[in-house]
Structures are given as structure tokens and as C-alpha cells.
Structure 1
Amino acid sequence: MNVLLGELTACQDVILWAIDLKRGMELQPWASCIDRLATTPQEAEALLGDAVVILDGRADDLTRRSARVWEPSPERPALIIVVDEYAELASEAPRAIDYADSIASRGRAPAVNLIAATQRPSKDAMGKSAVRSQMDVRLCFRVREPRDGDLVLGQGMVKTGGLKVWHPVTEAGFKHKRFAIYVWRADRVGGDTKTRKSRRTLELPKLAAEALRQHHTRQAAHKLKAGEAWQDHNLVFCTNVGTPLDAANVRRAFRNITKNAGIGTDWTPRELRHSFVSIMSDQGVPIETIADLVGHAGTSVTEAVYRHQLKPVITKGAHTMNTIFGDKPTG
């Protein structure tokens, strides 16, 4: 919880509200960073009720602007409500749970979000409301019984022994059906990504996973051939002796690939990103999903930067009607 609060309080595009029914004992040290803190059942109910009012107002604003998502900024920040010990809230302020359910069900697009923490993940506290079913991101630390883990993470997750998580291929190997790439750091000053939304974990398509599997085999052969000259930097892509690739060499190798593909040499690796957006859009992938995949904070950036790659949405109605009624002229 302290790690989450530390990250959130550093964000200039976030307003932070919190509920601590232990009379503020847990969250009081963060009081100066929290915009509103409720420490009694009555205050908690009022806080969540006000959050629903804000949610409704933002939903109306999105409708007026024909927008689908609220894009947080310092002037129009996201509202995040942290509930320390959600089970306590459920037992002491049951009427507040209706507000919490409303936020969990409808709050994503208007950027009114709920973070619920509990040491007692009972069915009474978590299993009967919309909060648990609407939580896409769940963290479960050590619990007393397996059923508690299933309650938090989902039925059957504990039965597999916790294997339904991503592991580095350096530990788990390539004998798996699904692979993902973690985009959690970048080659920038400090190693951080451009924005918080840029941090993401993306499942790899089978074609990419197979290519990486073959590359891993070739790299092992290069390592054996290099012998003592090999410098292990734990890199996926490196020179034949394990050292980092030079940017100019990467561009040169990429131009050779495009030349062999018959599309000329006037290309850069960066343009693969544009090609990806174009392919996704052409296949009918929603703009919101494309924005998530490329790590944009909102759809406006995707639409502005990649407007030439995006398939015009206005054609979808005509295409649908043609599919239903055919494209032959009426006589």
C-alpha cells in the first residue's frame, strides 16, 4: 500500500482520496498528501457518494464532447480512491458498498478509480459485490487458505500452484505456448518509460514467439563459437560476441531486410510501429485498444500521430450495411 501511495502522490494528474476506518491509524502518515481522508463510516459513505457525483458529472461531460475516455491532466486529474481494509468498510458502512460498486462498474472511462485493500478477503466482503468482478488488476500476498487466494485472483488460480503468471524465458525456457514482452523500462535517462501508460506487458503473437525461439538457438551457437571472447550482457539482441548493438548497425541491418523484401531501403525501425498501428486498425481493432498496445496515455495521441495509419471509422457503417444487404444496386 505504501508503494502505491508513494507512486500516486508523485503524479500531478491525480487527486487522491482515501478511506481508513481504523480512525486514520494506517493512512495518517500520508494525510498531507491525501486530498480527502475519511476515518469514520459516515465520512466514508459521504466520500464515496461524492465520488459517484463526480463520476456522473464526468460521464455527462464525455457525452457532450463525444469523447469515450477521460484523459487525465493536471487541470483535469484522475480521481483515485484508496480503501484500506475494504472488509471493514463492508461491515461498518454497508450502504457505502453500493457507491463502491457503482465506481467499480462505471468509473474507468471517467477516470474515477477504486483501489481496495483487505487482509480478510471473505466472501461477505469481496465476493458478492461488483468490486471484485470489475478489478482487472489484482495482487495477492500470502494468505492462510487456498480458497482466499481463489477469492482474490479467481477460481482455479491457486490450484495450478501459482503457475498462471509470466516467467522470464531465461528461467522457464521456451517450451511454452504463450509468451509476453515486458515494457517496464526504456533506454532513457533514469531507465524509465516515457509515460506511466507506456509501462505494459504484451502477449507475443505465435509468429514472434517462434522467431525469438529460433533466434535464441542461433545465439547459443554464436556463444559457443565465440568462446572466451563472448561478453555476456544478458541481451536478447547483440553482436556475435554478446556486446550491445550500435544504432547505426541496427539501421543498416534493417535496411538490408527491407531491400530483400522488395520495398526499398528508405525505412527505419521506428516505422514498424506505424505499420503495426495500420495493421491493427485495418483489422478493426478499436482505437482504445490500439492506444493501450502502443502505450499512449489516451486515444487523442494515437489519432494525431498515426492519423494516416488509422482506418476511417466512418466507413464501418457502410461496410456493415453492405455485409447485411449486399452491395448490389436495387432495381
Structure 2
Amino acid sequence: MTKRRSRGDGGLHWDEQRQRWIASVTVGYTPSGKRIVRKGSGKTKAAAHAALREKIREYEDGLSLAQTGYTVAQAVEDWLTYGLNGRVASTVDKNRHLCKHIITGLGARKLRDLSATDVDRWLIQLAKTLSTSTVQRIYECLNRTVIRAMARDKVKRNVVALCTVPTGKVGRPSKSLTLDAAKALLNAAEDTRLYAYVVLSLLTGARTEELRALTWTHVDLDGRPDDDDPVPPSIQVWHSVREGGDTKTRKSGRTLALPLRGVVALRGQRSLQDRDREKAGEDWQDAGLVFASSVGTELDAANVRRAFRRITKSAGLNPADWTPRELRHSFVSLLSDGGVSLSDIADLCGHSGTSVTEKVYRHQLRPILLTGAAAMDRIFGEDTRTGA
């Protein structure tokens, strides 16, 4: 006669329809007194017990039975929907675009079955076609997704944190216009709607997102030349694309004096906008923007890029080689080549220090470094003797 199992040992029976052994055990009770049962199945008794032990571990770890089928795609969607609260729409859209790579490559995987090896292989595949910085951002999206899932007891550990980002494709390095190319570009832009935008980008170094958001209330075309402390014409670039209004760095909010060409270009821009307003009539949407569409609405980055490509082509440059942000790089390089100190350039660009200015933005226009030779000539004079 078989011995009766003790209370709490659970049960084991053969399911004829499924042709599998079913092991079950009561792990607790709901507030209403209903039993909470966990079951495991297998082709053998040992397999059924092993599956049951796994279900019990999940229950003790706080994982519900319904979450065992929770996929990477579901976790990503949860993070995009609830984990980016407080972010501006453009940030959410950018992350959603990056997460398409995650959903395509790993979305169907159950999150609890995802391994570090799976992530490593996937990252290596991404690195074959994407730049290192893009792979890094995609990795960060997945990492934050799994961290959120862990905090909500959807998975036990974060295997993504065990992986490193491989080196991707080499991206196109930023570069600077030469003085002659910059002059050609300004001439080509002169009869276009983007002329004032190109002038301010190149001659003040303002960021493209700062110029797109610039309003007439932040433009002073007259200055106060007769004051005891004269004030030149200027623009205030205090715009922030960040939620809460904080700028990119502490020095990003700054007032920039306008060169004469910038003043003339902005006066022309105001006249152009007056004509647009009159032509649009009731369709005009007055947002006070300096650079706007023909009906007053804000320009987006794609609008500017398309118009800029036409200008570069007219200037004899390859449109595929240049982007609007490289006008800011050209501003830094032209000033540096003109002898302006790096600290002054950093202040003009709104950088918190000179490191970014030097490493990212400054592109030496002269192939020969003259500083050392010029200094030695000053020290020793112009004595051309070669010595004994």
C-alpha cells in the first residue's frame, strides 16, 4: 500500500490527453481564501517536478505566471509608453526609432529567456551596418528597458548589463569649410529664403536648433551705440529643446553680437517675412519666429537640410558632403585660423569648457602648424645663420 503524501507536498498525475506528467502544489491563498496553485509538466515524473520547482522559484521571486510569456517587444513598448514621461516629443520619437532595431532583432524572445550571448550576437550584427554611437544608443535603450522590467518583477536580472558595445562602422567625420568655400556658400545663399539662416550659422556659430527657435523678441538689430557703454546689435540664443527649459550646458544661454552682414541679412529676413504675411493673409500663423515657413510655422530639421543641399550645390560643393551643423564647425575653425583664442571661441559657442571646442569642433585649416616656428623666430630674431 502506497504511503499518503503529507499536506503541502502537492500532487502528481498522468494527463492522458496531453500525454504528460503534471506536478502541482499549493503555494498560498488569495485574500478570499482561494488556493494559489502552481503546476509543471514533463514527459517524465522528474521533468514534471523540475518544471514545478522552476514555477515555485518564479512565484517566490515575485513573478506571476502570466509574465513567463512576457517578450522583449512588450518590455520595450512598456518603456516607451511609461518610462519616458516628462520627455519632449522629439526625444520619444528618437527613442522609438532606435527601438525598432530591438524589436526587429530580439522582440519575439521571451524576456526571461534572453541571455547575454543573445545580446552580444545581436549587437555584433548591428555593428556591421551602424555606427558605434548609434549602436551605443540602441544598447542604452535595451538596458533601460530591462532595468524597468526588473523593477516591476518581470525578469530576475539584467543580462544586458553584462554586455559591451562593439565598434561599429566608422561614421563620416565632421569637417569645416575653407574661407573660399564659405564665401562661395554665402554668395550662393544670397537669393534664397535660407540666406539669413546660413549667415547667422556661419558668422555667429549658433546651433541649428537655436536658430530654428529664434524669435524676433530675442533680436536687437539697432543696439545702443550712443550709450556710455555701447551695446552692438545682437541675438539672444536662450532656447532649450529640453523639458523643463534647462539649456544644454550652463553657458548655452548667451547673447551674441551680430556682424554687419548678419544685421543686413536679418533686416532682409524681416522684409521677406512681411511679404509672406501679406500673401498668406488669414492663413498666417504668427509664432514670432525669425525663421519660419511661408505661413509662419516652425521649420523642422528636414526643411533646413533640403534647402541647404540646394545652396551647397549652387556653391559648387557636393551636397552629400555637407550638413547645416557643419556651419558651426566652420565658424570655430575660421575663428581659430584667424587667431582667436580657444577660450573665447568656447564662450561664443556656449561650451562649458575648451575640451569639446578643440576635440570636436575645431578643424585646423592650415596643414602646417606655424605656432612653434613663429615663436622661435620672435625669440631668436630673424638670424638665418645655420651655425658652425
TM-score range, shorter chain: 0.3 to 0.5
Larger Rg: 2
- If asked which structure has higher relative contact order (CA below 8 Å, sep 6+), I would say 2
TM-score calculated relative to the size of structure 2:
0.38
